[in-house]
Amino acid sequence: MINYLKSERVILREMEEIDWIDVHKYASQENVCQYQPWGPNSEQESKDFVKQVLIDAKKEPRSRFVFAVIVMECGEMIGAGEMNIRDFSNNVGEIAYIVNPQYWRKGFATEVANLLIEYGFNNFNLHRIYATCDPRNIGSSKVLEKVGMIKEGRMREDLLLKDGWRDSLLYSILEHEWVRK
């Protein structure tokens, strides 16, 4: 299986144990995790996240693929991208991504999402790939629309955050809708 993906400006490579340091740089920030059920992370929580990623990478059949996002120009890890196979029988996957705020509004999340979608369709013969985001997360909604995903609707109170239940917007793209980049 491919262990790295590449676009014009980023490389997605399989996560390594040492990556917890770079994960912690963004996962410890309140603004990064404000729409997530986790964080801000302690150092131990960032280490535990990476340890779990490495454990999941060894499972058979493997359903979780987590990549470190590396900016080619400087070699810095700025985030993570994830592809999860949610239903092997119906060929359904889910993508997720997170980027260090230093790199927000520069197109990196869009590049990562495109790479993950391409990876899912090309390597797993997926029929449908979806993603969810908090309705308040305008930046993430824009990313999902830029990569060609269609907003299917709103799932009410489907995720418990620190401050209570949150809704999620559901986006998806079908294999025949994907325009290969």
Per-residue model confidence as pLDDT tens digits over 73-126: 999 999 999 999 999 999 999 999 999 999 999 999 999 999 999 999 999 999
Q: Kindly tell me the burial class for residue 97, based on how many C-beta atoms sit within 10 Å of its own C-beta (0-12, 13-18, 19 or more).
A: buried
- The answer to whether position 154 is within a domain reads no
- The answer to whether position 26 is within a domain reads yes
The domain containing residue 85 runs over which residues? 4-127
- The answer to whether position 175 is within a domain reads no
- The answer to whether position 78 is within a domain reads yes
**Which residue type, as a one-letter code, is found at position 150?**
I
- The answer to whether position 33 is within a domain reads yes
With b for 16 or more beta-carbon neighbours within 10 A and e for fewer, the 23-59 pattern comes to bbbbbbeeebbebbeebbbeeebbbebbeebeebeee
Full pLDDT tens readout for the chain, 181 residues: 457 899 999 999 999 999 999 999 999 998 888 888 888 999 999 999 999 999 999 999 999 999 999 999 999 999 999 999 999 999 999 999 999 999 999 999 999 999 999 999 999 999 999 999 999 999 999 999 999 999 999 999 999 988 899 999 999 999 999 976 5
- The answer to whether position 170 is within a domain reads no
**Contacts with 179 (C-beta within 8 Å, 6 or more apart), sequence order:** 148
CATH number of the domain to which 47 belongs: 3.40.630.30
How many structural domains does the chain have?
1
- The answer to whether position 147 is within a domain reads no
Say what angle helices 43-56 and 20-27 make with each other, to 10 degrees: 130
- The answer to whether position 70 is within a domain reads yes
